[in-house]
Amino acid sequence: MHKRRIRKTHTNHRKRCRDPYSILATILQICEQRTMRTHVIYKANLSYSMLQEYIGLALHKDLLDEAADRSLTTTTKGRLFLVEYEAIERMLANNDVSTKGGPGGTLQEESRENISQ
C-alpha cells in the first residue's frame, strides 16, 4: 500500500501587508521623474484598482500632477510629504520620541529646507 504524502501549508510565509502611507510614498518616489501609470503598477507592485485608488487620492491632495499624456509627476507638496514621511520612518526606526528634527530645528523646518534645495 502506498503512503499518501501530506502537503504542509506554511502560514508563516504570508506576504507582508503595506500600510497606505507606505504605498503612497512608494508611488510618489517612483513619480519623482515623469512616469506612466503602467510603470507605477509594476514598480510599486500594485493592482490596477489599487493604483487607481491611490492615484486618485494623490491627485486630489495635489501630491501628484497628471500631464495630458496621462504621465504622472510628483509635485512640490508631494516631495514635502516624502521628506516628512522619511523623517517619521527614521524617528520610529531609532525609537526617538523627540520632536526635534536636527540641532535646533523641528522636522517641518528641516523638511522645508530639504525641499528648497
Q: How far apart are CA 54 and CA 44, in angstroms?
A: 11
pLDDT score recorded for residue 46: 95
pLDDT for 10: 43
pLDDT at 103: 47
- Inter-residue contact 101 to 91 (CB < 8 Å): no
Low-confidence residues of the chain, pLDDT below 70?
Answer: 1-16, 96-117
The reported pLDDT for the residue numbered 94 is: 86
Q: What domains does the chain contain, in order, with CATH numbers?
A: 20-116 (1.10.10.10)
